[in-house]
Structure 1
Amino acid sequence: MILQLPQPDTRLRLMRLLGASLLGVALALGSAGLTHARGAPESFADLAQQISPSVVNITTSAVVEASTDDMPRLPEGSPFQDFFDQFQNDEGGPRRSEALGSGFVISEDGYIVTNNHVIEGADEIEIEFFSGDRLPAKLVGTDPKTDIALLKVDSSKPLPFVNFGDSDLMRVGDWVVAMGNPLGQGFSVSAGIVSARNRALSGTYDDYIQTDAAINKGNSGGPLFNMDGQVIGVNTAILSPTGGSIGIGFSMASNVVTKVVDQLREFGETRRGWLGVRIQDVTPDVAEAMNLATAAGALITDVPDGPAKDAGMLAGDVITMFDGKPIKDVRDLTRRVADAPVGEAVRVEVLREGKSESLTVTLGRREEAEAVETSAKPGEAPAPKEAELLGMTLAPLTADSRKALGLSADAQGLVVTKVDAASEAYGKGLREGDLITEAGQQKVQRIKDLEDRLAEAKEAGRKSILLLIRRGGDPRFVALPLE
């Protein structure tokens, strides 16, 4: 059969259509090349084979006291009483309890990382390797603040291990792989993506990577890998109403873990820097009350004895720079100080009364400071009423109210005896028994002191006034709108 070509005008139209189609394909390919788009991996098998030998199952055991709270209770005189008494005597008393978790080897000589809650309270720790070999492990050190623990096994041969990656390079949407021992089922692999970054759960030093890779009980302490086989997180927690994975898991970022592990490996404990200040975030209303250009930095509420006081820091200063880097908020400053070496002299910039000042602080050690830190407990607030301002009933501090609040004899300020539940003050957390020590960054002892500060703020065109509140010895700044 002979193929018959179309007439000339028809051929011309086809050529034009074909050219347009080819141009569209070329543009699409060019666009794809510019964005460097990545599709889903064809398989995770090669990666899993590469990293599996470094992942371990952890079994812990401890002696615990048996509880009789759940034992069945029988009516008095029951014919089964003797039987249950015998059963209770046989089963009562101390017993051995076991728990399961995961971990990973970080050096050929046998150092292993896991979660603190996996091994907490254990008197025996056993490591099961991918090969099936089992070895006892000893505890090197723990850090409950980041829920990290470091173990060590003695092996007659070099162990396969994995390296940490840079968690700061991970982007939302990047592929990740979780490995561990979910629900005691043995070595298991799950894959997903980075769902979110910089999550905080409850700890001061939290920096979690959120992932939808399946994480269940038993995965705790296991590694979260990037596609290069580097550990970029330690699987620690899940958010779930049922106890099973619903696609919201949290892994402590490797850039936090590596610092902790290095200290545990060298000292057997953490050694975090300590500045010695109480701080709070600079909120927009606080920034307006202090006439700050931006709501950023860490506002100092108190300066007890310590490095900051020795360096000349004052309550009311706003820390804007630490060691040459800008400070965004309290969490940012806390982590930067903790990461700085103990005993190091650091330049700190603060805003004080609208002017920038540079101070040099020699950092102490947080663990030592926390060991000796004490806090006073507040008593009942005094009852007398003196004046109503800013939605609060206030009274000057007296000897009786100092005693009731557990304050020192030289404490000064105005006691909050009542707060209107519909007021802004109540919404900002002020309560009966709070002590106002400053207004507009000036000390107040009498009702007239506060009234004068309010008048000055109004004359200056302020929309709010900054109060320094103390509760149980803990200070914080609160900005309240002017009435």
Structure 2
Amino acid sequence: MRPLPTLLTLALAAAFGGFVASAINVHLDNRAEAAPVSLAIPATAALPASVAGQAVPSLAPMLDRAMPAVVSVNTKQVVRVRNPYFNDPFFRRLFPEVPQERINESLGSGVIIDASAGLVLTNHHVIDNADDVQVTLADGRTVKAEFIGSDRDTDIALIRIPADKLTALPLGNSDQLRVGDFVVAIGNPFGFSQTVTSGIVSAVGRSGIRGLGYQNFIQTDASINPGNSGGALVNLQGQLVGINTASFNPQGSMAGNIGLGLAIPSNLARDVVDQLVKHGVVVRGTLGVEAQNLTQQIAQGLGLSEARGALVTRVLAGSGAAAAGLRPGDVVVSANGQRVDSAQALHNIEGLQPVGSVLSLDIRRDGKPLQLKATLKEQARAVSGDALDPRLTGATFIDLPESLRQAGISGVQVSEVKRGSRAATSGLAAGDVIMEASVGEFADLASWRANFQQRPPQLVLRIMRGNTPGVLVMR
């Protein structure tokens, strides 16, 4: 059994969990002593209003319109303190005032996208597990927010605030962004309110970052730091083109910003918001295939000049891929015009499409090019164990969070196990990740379910609980 790989091999600053406000003093107190200077400092001359008859360019007019739409999101989470002494009645009598709970506070950002409805867009990781969410507006008002819905796999969350006289940011078309376009990041880094940084679009369609969810990021060199999460990335027209979510820094957050910020494109955020408003959840489509990466040896055997693409190893019956004529042995090299270098890349493109959308697939079959169109069907969000096998009665299974898949893990996760059920008696617990089973190979919830068309005489599961591997025999 190999241990569960570390989910985040590289530090992701400005991302997950927000910024704890009390930590700011540590940074502000780290000041150097300044030596006295005897030289007189000349007065700074004001910038001219115009040069050669042309007005000096400034972002101020655009920011006057955009900044009131960016808010501060403060969350509180009540955490029960686990101390074995609290179980001792004698200890509780001696120290009755010792708190058994603590409150964790964090600070992020958000963007008002609908002034009349009070809808605020932010990151899922900003409000995840929060017991209370307060939003502070640019004019100083603080209101309690209502949770509408969130999507962990794209890190998007939607909340509502009961306030009037709000300013919203219009959503721009992020598909029109080009490398080199100027953008501005607005948020609350390190607890400072209403901070603006500027830069350019460094890359679009950025993916392949381990430990994050579905990925189609805008990369920018505008400074993004802890507390910027959920804030706005705007173009020079004052339109929202991205939601700032992370800053990539191999040296960790204490090393400072190094110009590798990531933002969720506004078009992706718009699709997620539409589903959250209508359904409260995000329902994704699926091709219904399993795939693996190509090796040089396999590529040569298939008559391919390079080991690039997603090799289809299984096509599930009744799926959109089966209806399109996709077969095991086909190699997908692009989807909807996007290059596919690996099985994970295909999965990422697939997961970003809504149910009913059509994927134009460029494949190689027996070394020859072929184009197919496949319609994505709705993938099940959860499967009950008793619908699969009586030995799994009481358990509910879901797909793995996309962050685990991006870390190279495949399988399914146990979301719930009813107390006293048959599954619980065999030792299965909520949170377990099932990576292998005697039922056959599987990569996700769809193939896990498909494998139970014929029940195995013995059901053995290889699981990961936390970072500890184990084997369970289901009885």
Contact residue 296 and residue 327 of structure 1 kept, 8 A: no
For residues 242 and 297 of structure 1, what CA distance do their matches in structure 2 show?
A: 33
SS in 2 for 1:266: helix
Residue in structure 2 matching 1:366, options 370, 374, 379: 379
For residues 115 and 158 of structure 1, what CA distance do their matches in structure 2 show?
A: 24
SS in 2 for 1:257: helix
5+ residue gaps, structure 1, are 1-38, 70-81, 378-404, 412-471, 474-483
Residue in structure 1 matching 2:263, options 251, 267, 282: 251
AA aligned opposite 2:105: E
For residues 173 and 224 of structure 2, what CA distance do their matches in structure 1 show?
A: 21
For residues 327 and 93 of structure 2, what CA distance do their matches in structure 1 show?
A: 68
For residues 352 and 309 of structure 1, what CA distance do their matches in structure 2 show?
A: 15
Q: Deviations over 1:169-222 (max 9, x none)?
A: 323333221111111122211122223333222335212222222222111100
Percent of counterpart pairs with the same letter?
37
Q: Deviations over 1:233-285 (max 9, x none)?
A: 11111233352423322212223222212211221111111111122345665
Contact residue 152 and residue 213 of structure 2 kept, 8 A: no
For residues 69 and 296 of structure 2, what CA distance do their matches in structure 1 show?
A: 48
Query: In the comparison of the two structures, how many residue pairs are matched?
Result: 333
Bigger relative contact order, structure 1 or 2 (CA pairs below 8 A, ≥6 apart): 2
Residue in structure 2 matching 1:142, options 131, 150, 167: 150
5+ residue gaps, structure 2, are 1-53, 85-89, 384-396, 401-409, 413-435, 442-461, 464-475
TM-score (structure 1 length as normaliser): 0.60
Structure 1 pair 40/88, CA: closer, same or farther in 2 (3 Å)? farther
Confirm or deny that 1:208 pairs with 2:221: no
The residue number in structure 2 matching 1:397 is none
| Greater mean deviation of Cα atoms: 174-183 or 332-341 | 332-341
The residue number in structure 1 matching 2:340 is 328
Structure 1 pair 99/272, CA: closer, same or farther in 2 (3 Å)? same
Larger Rg: 1
Q: Write the mapping of 1:27-46 to structure 2, written as runs, cut at 5 A.
A: 42-46=57-61
The residue number in structure 2 matching 1:316 is 329
Q: Write the mapping of 1:177-256 to structure 2, written as runs, cut at 5 A.
A: 177-200=184-207, 201-202=209-210, 203-240=212-249, 241-243=251-253, 244-256=256-268
For residues 58 and 349 of structure 2, what CA distance do their matches in structure 1 show?
A: 39
C-alpha displacement of 1:102? 0.3
Structure 1 pair 87/145, CA: closer, same or farther in 2 (3 Å)? farther
Bigger proportion of residues as helix: 1
Q: Deviations over 1:35-82 (max 9, x none)?
A: xxxx9983322222120110001111121113559xxxxxxxxxxxx9
Residue in structure 1 matching 2:67, options 41, 52, 59: 52
The residue number in structure 2 matching 1:94 is 101
For residues 180 and 56 of structure 2, what CA distance do their matches in structure 1 show?
A: 13
C-alpha displacement of 1:134? 1.9
AA aligned opposite 2:215: D
Structure 1 pair 193/349, CA: closer, same or farther in 2 (3 Å)? closer
For residues 238 and 368 of structure 2, what CA distance do their matches in structure 1 show?
A: 49
Q: Deviations over 1:310-340 (max 9, x none)?
A: 4353321223565x75653445543543344
Contact residue 283 and residue 295 of structure 1 kept, 8 A: yes
AA aligned opposite 2:258: I
The residue number in structure 1 matching 2:81 is 66
Task: Supply the RMSD in Å over aligned alpha carbons.
Answer: 3.7
| Greater mean deviation of Cα atoms: 272-281 or 88-97 | 88-97
